[in-house]
Amino acid sequence: MNENTSVAEITFTAFDFETTGLSPVSDGICEIGAVQFRNGEVVDTFQALTNPGVKISPDAQAVSGLSNEQVANAPEVGGVLPDFLGFAKDTVMIAHNAEFDMGFLRVALQKHSLPEIPNIIIDTQALAQKAFPRRRSYSLQALAEHLGVDPGSAHRALDDALTCMKIFNACVEQLSFMGDLPLSEVLF
């Protein structure tokens, strides 16, 4: 993808995972949410509960509200990942604190013998630091509050992906004061 292409001409996929804990090695993905958008407008959404193969920790349950019972009969994450990757194919992917989600994605892809993704990844946490310097917090919820974005059900994958999309759009608007913003201006 040409880095001089206008952000307005690119299809993006904002995504989020809910996990059983904080370690990509010993924990797993229990929910995937994603929203595909172009020029600030939603094109499509993807949401799936997955059976992570490990128990959801009490701390993770408290954050997401997801229980072991809710994911017990869901398909294994290895069965859902191909659908998610197909959904995000040929798009630039966006996540908030992307290294967290990408750590889980890399481990899950390797565990299920799936190929690594070729997509460009943008971290809205880093982008927000460029667009809105000197904030006290760059958490998804703090930025949503600062920007007046309704976070929906915070800490559920699809709602967090939608919030991530809205934060990305706000960052693009803030940084594009000189006209069209090329992709190179949102990459780090």
For β-strands 92-95 and 11-19, DSSP reports them as: parallel
- Given pLDDT bands bounded at 50, 70 and 90, which one contains residue 188? confident
On whether the CB atoms of residues 157 and 140 are closer than 8 A, the answer is no
- Which pLDDT does position 153 carry in this prediction? 77
- Given pLDDT bands bounded at 50, 70 and 90, which one contains residue 177? confident
CATH number of the structural domain spanning residue 120: 3.30.420.10
- Which pLDDT does position 95 carry in this prediction? 98
Structural domain includes residue 148 = yes
Percent of the chain with pLDDT over 70: 99
Structural domain includes residue 3 = no
Structural domain includes residue 2 = no
- Given pLDDT bands bounded at 50, 70 and 90, which one contains residue 1? confident
Domain residues for the domain of 109 are 9-186
Residue 180 clears pLDDT 90, i.e. is over it: no
What SS3 state is found at 88? helix
pTM for the whole structure: 0.95
In the 8-state DSSP scheme, what is residue 126? H
9-57 per-position pLDDT tens digit: 999 999 999 999 999 999 999 999 999 999 999 999 999 999 999 999 9
Structural domain includes residue 163 = yes
Structural domain includes residue 169 = yes
Q: How many domains does the chain have?
A: 1
Active site residue 155: yes
Q: One-letter amino acid identity for 60? A: A
On whether the CB atoms of residues 173 and 149 are closer than 8 A, the answer is no
Structural domain includes residue 118 = yes
Mean pLDDT, all residues of the chain: 95
Structural domain includes residue 4 = no
Instruction: Please indicate whether residue 152 or residue 93 has the higher confidence score (pLDDT).
Output: 93
Residue 103 clears pLDDT 90, i.e. is over it: yes
Residue 111 clears pLDDT 90, i.e. is over it: yes
- Give the CB-side neighbour count of residue 70, counting CA atoms within 13 A: 12
